[in-house]
Amino acid sequence: MTLQTVYLNGDFMPMEQARISPLDRGFLFADGVYEVIPVYQGQLFEWEAHYQRLENSLAGVFINNPMDNQAWLSVLQQLISLHPWQDQFIYLQISRGQQIPRDHLPQADLIPTVFAYTNPLKPLADSIISHGIKVITLEDIRWQRCDIKSIALLPNVMAKMQAQAAGVDDVILVNQQGYVTEGSASNMMMVKAGEIITPPLSAHILPGVTRQVIEKIANRHHIPFIEREIHQTELDSADELWLASSTKEALPICQLNGQPVADGQPGAIWKQLRQLYQNYKIQTRTRSTI
pLDDT band at 91; cut points 50, 70, 90: very high
pLDDT value of position 61: 98
Mean pLDDT of 267-278: 98
pLDDT in tens, 190-219: 999 999 999 999 999 999 999 999 999 999
pLDDT value of position 290: 45
Mean pLDDT of 62-73: 97
**Greatest pairwise CA separation for the chain in angstroms:** 58
The average confidence (pLDDT) of the chain is: 96
Q: What is the pTM of this model?
A: 0.95
User: Which domains are assigned to the chain?
Assistant: 5-120 (3.30.470.10), 126-285 (3.20.10.10)
| Cis before 14 (ω within 30) | no
Chain centroid to Cα 86, Å, comes to 20
Mean pLDDT of 234-245: 98
Mean pLDDT of 259-269: 98
Sequential DSSP letters for the chain: -PPPEEEETTEEEEGGG----TTBHHHHH--EEEEEEEEETTEESSHHHHHHHHHHHHHHTT---SS-HHHHHHHHHHHHHTS--SSEEEEEEEE--B-SS--SSPPTTPPPEEEEEEEE-PPPPHHHHHH-EEEEEEE----S-TTS-BS--HHHHHHHHHHHHTT-SEEEEE-TTSBEEEESSSEEEEEETTEEEEPPPSTTS---HHHHHHHHHHHHTT--EEE---BGGGGGG-SEEEEEETTTEEEEEEEETTEESTTSS--HHHHHHHHHHHHHHHHHHHHHH-
Mean pLDDT of 86-110: 97
> In this model, does residue 289 exceed pLDDT 60?
no
pLDDT value of position 145: 97
pLDDT value of position 190: 98
Percentage with pLDDT > 90 across the chain: 97
pLDDT band at 3; cut points 50, 70, 90: confident
> In this model, does residue 21 exceed pLDDT 90?
yes
Sequential DSSP letters for 11-25: EEEEGGG----TTBH
pLDDT in tens, 104-161: 999 999 999 999 999 999 999 999 999 999 999 999 999 999 999 999 999 999 999 9
pLDDT value of position 164: 98
149 in active site: yes
**Candidate list 149, 160, 216, 248, residue with the active-site label:** 149
